[in-house]
């Protein structure tokens, strides 16, 4: 019998924000990678180790704790949401701190050649890949229209605005920048101001100067925009049991969904096949309005369907957070998911899961 390979010597991968979806991804990841999972809770160490990951104590809310993760792995799954902030803050400081940690530069030589900067002396390293789990909430209200990934984000809530800021921060990891020890020596000053002329290169091109600088590694950053996540234990059963109302048909909104297992697999697939600076919708084929979704779940669990109310009445009886999800209507196209990533959904829609539920999953009397 072949013994399982040891994790040492395997390529490294870092998960930032290893919650439910991250834990679902671990069984597949630990077969190919030595996986490090960031956590700020000592209580989670045992569960992470049992799943095959190495716990790394760090906190995205404390930049000083992130220094050790900067060069820990060349592949990163960033699954951590922005922190909830008081007021209407629109910046995701968690992702900005993570970028600063990942952005630690390598020392390199800067050699001007034929009017351009040539970068030499970079240590050999594997490709750097980052996949960020964002949200479809960045689009705001689209009036129920079908939209693809080229749609311009129009976030309405501070929560969604922080996600847009996180996406921009992640994308910036894919743009080259140059950090010179002495900014006054940057080549923009021109060859006439060169300090130490040198000859180099087979073609005899003359350099104005050679300077030890720092240039960071460029990451191939991909973004996955995620709608509502469901699973057997992630359905709105408690809401239905409380009798929380839904919008009447004339006011109802379209919602989008993805099973947690499919999402975990999509994130892994994006790491292998995702394109640089590319957005992909992680959405299944469900084409229901929110009220229809609640009705189907209620029927599957033998619960009363929720009462329907007008939008005006909903504004009086529902909490603002819940109401915000009832104020945006859109339908996500998943063509890129199927064609570019070549992903085949395990659960094509919510109905596929509901058909599999056993009586043991249903609530008791």
Decide: 187 and 110 in contact? Cβ < 8 Å: yes
Query: What is d(CA 251, CA 12) in angstroms, rounded to the nearest whole number?
Result: 49
pLDDT at residue 254 above 60? yes
Query: What is the C-alpha R_g of the chain?
Result: 25
DSSP track, 241-288 = HHT--EE-GGG--B--EEEHHHHHHHHHHHHHHPPTTEEEE---S---
**Looking at per-residue confidence, does 86 or 209 come out higher?**
86
Partner residues linked to 279 by β-bridges: 223
Q: Which of 98-112, 139-153, 274-288 is predicted with the least confidence, judged by mean pLDDT?
A: 98-112
Q: What is the pLDDT of residue 84?
A: 83
Q: What is the pLDDT of residue 248?
A: 97
Tokens at 313, concatenated: 């009445």
Q: What percentage of the chain has pLDDT greater than the value 90? A: 71
Query: What is d(CA 358, CA 356) in angstroms, rounded to the nearest whole number?
Result: 6
Question: What number is the average pLDDT over the span 88-116?
Answer: 72
Query: What is d(CA 79, CA 149) in angstroms, rounded to the nearest whole number?
Result: 19
Q: What is the pLDDT of residue 96?
A: 96
Q: What is the pLDDT of residue 27?
A: 98
pLDDT at residue 294 above 90? yes
Burial class of residue 306 (count of CB atoms within 10 Å of its CB; 0-12, 13-18, 19+) = buried
Q: pLDDT category, 213, cuts 50, 70, 90?
A: very low
pLDDT at residue 60 above 90? yes
What are the tens digits of pLDDT across the range 106-157?
545 444 433 334 333 444 455 799 999 999 999 999 999 999 999 999 999 9
Q: What is the pLDDT of residue 320?
A: 87
Domains of the chain (ranges; CATH) run 12-106+127-177+219-357 (3.40.50.720)
Q: What is the pLDDT of residue 215?
A: 52
What are the tens digits of pLDDT across the range 5-48?
566 679 999 999 999 999 999 999 999 999 999 999 999 999 99
Q: What is the pLDDT of residue 322?
A: 86
Q: What is the pLDDT of residue 180?
A: 41
Tokens at 279, concatenated: 């957005």
**Looking at per-residue confidence, does 164 or 181 come out higher?**
164
pLDDT at residue 98 above 70? yes
Query: What is d(CA 121, CA 107) in angstroms, rounded to the nearest whole number?
Result: 8
0.75 exceeded by pTM: yes
Residue 328's nearest CA partner among 167, 138, 85 is: 138
For all residues of the chain together, what is the average pLDDT? 85
Question: What number is the average pLDDT over the span 238-252?
Answer: 97
Residue 281's nearest CA partner among 163, 171, 167, 148 is: 148
What are the tens digits of pLDDT across the range 315-364?
999 988 889 889 999 999 999 999 999 999 999 999 999 999 966 555 55
Query: What is d(CA 173, CA 122) in angstroms, rounded to the nearest whole number?
Result: 17
């Amino acid at each position: 019998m072949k013994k399982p390979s040891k994790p040492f010597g395997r390529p490294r991968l870092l998960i930032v924000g290893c919650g439910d979806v991250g834990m679902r991804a671990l069984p597949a990841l630990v077969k190919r990678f030595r996986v490090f999972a960031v956590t700020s809770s000592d209580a989670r160490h045992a569960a992470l180790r049992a799943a095959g990951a190495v716990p790394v104590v760090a906190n995205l809310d404390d930049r000083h704790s992130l220094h050790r993760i900067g060069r820990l792995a060349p592949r990163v799954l960033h699954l951590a949401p922005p922190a909830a902030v008081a007021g209407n803050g629109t910046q995701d400081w968690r992702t900005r701190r993570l970028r600063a940690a990942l952005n630690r530069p390598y020392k390199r030589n800067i050699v001007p050649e034929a009017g351009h900067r040539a970068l030499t002396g970079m240590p050999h390293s594997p490709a750097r890949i980052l996949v960020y789990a964002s949200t479809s909430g960045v689009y705001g209200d689209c009036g129920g229209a079908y939209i693809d990934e080229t749609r311009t984000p129009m976030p309405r809530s501070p929560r969604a605005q922080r996600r847009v800021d996180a996406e921009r921060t992640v994308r910036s990891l894919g743009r080259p920048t140059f950090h010179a020890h002495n900014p006054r020596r940057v080549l923009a000053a021109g060859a006439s101001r060169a300090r130490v002329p040198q000859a180099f290169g087979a073609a005899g091109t003359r350099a104005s100067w050679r300077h030890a600088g720092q240039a960071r590694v460029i990451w191939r950053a991909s973004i996955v925009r995620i709608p509502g996540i469901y699973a057997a234990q992630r359905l709105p059963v408690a809401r239905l049991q409380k009798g929380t109302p839904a919008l009447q048909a004339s006011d109802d909104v379209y919602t989008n969904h993805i099973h947690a297992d499919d999402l975990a697999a999509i994130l892994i697939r994006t790491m292998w096949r995702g394109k640089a600076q590319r957005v992909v919708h992680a959405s299944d084929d469900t084409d229901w309005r929110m009220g229809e979704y609640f009705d189907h779940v209620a029927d599957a669990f033998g619960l009363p369907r929720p009462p329907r109310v007008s939008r005006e009445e909903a504004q009086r009886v529902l909490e603002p957070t819940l109401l915000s999800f009832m104020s945006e209507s859109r339908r996500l196209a998943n063509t890129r998911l199927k064609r570019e990533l070549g992903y085949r959904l395990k659960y094509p829609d919510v109905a596929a899961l509901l058909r599999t539920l056993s009586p043991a999953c249903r609530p008791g009397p």
